[in-house]
Amino acid sequence: MVSGPHPAPGEPQGEIGTAWSVPRGGPPPPAPPPPPAPPDGGGAALAAVLMLCSGLLAVLQGVAAVAGDDVYARTGAYAYRLGLAGWGWIHLTLGALLALAGAGVLRGVARARTAGVVLAGLGLVAQFLFLPYEPLWSVVVMGLDLFVIRALVVAPRHRG
């Protein structure tokens, strides 16, 4: 073995086995730490995605009602004398606003959470009043609205 500052070519460098286990240039840099988990466990993100989907579906529901499509059942005497086109405009407006609030929650805008709670509450009332036209769909959307409200209202849990 040649002693000196530089070993001869072909001679092992360092301890036995290190030339094979460590790539040239040294060990690789450590992996970056994973992104922190949302403090609420991702409930707000799921609520935001549901708000986007529910808003889009409400817009489609409103368009079908405004167009006078035969999708909805015709009711006889109903206590709330708003025509199908009126309900369509309500669903169209609430759906567009709910989708915008959902996009805001995904972006982390604090006021979008409040707007989402208010709009989901209004959507809950609108679906309740829309029950005679589409009962099963209204009950499903009311359940989604309740989940959205709960997910946006629950305070984030602090770990530590």
- Which residue in 86, 94, 155 sits closest to 124, CA to CA? 94
d(CA 44, CA 150): 9
pLDDT at 78: 66
Contacts of 61 (CB under 8 A, 6+ apart): 88, 91, 95, 134, 137
How do residues 80-136 score in pLDDT, each as one tens digit? 667 778 888 999 999 999 999 999 998 888 899 999 999 999 999 998 988 888 888
* pLDDT tens-place string over residues 5-62: 666 666 555 555 555 666 667 767 888 887 765 666 678 888 999 999 989 988 988 8
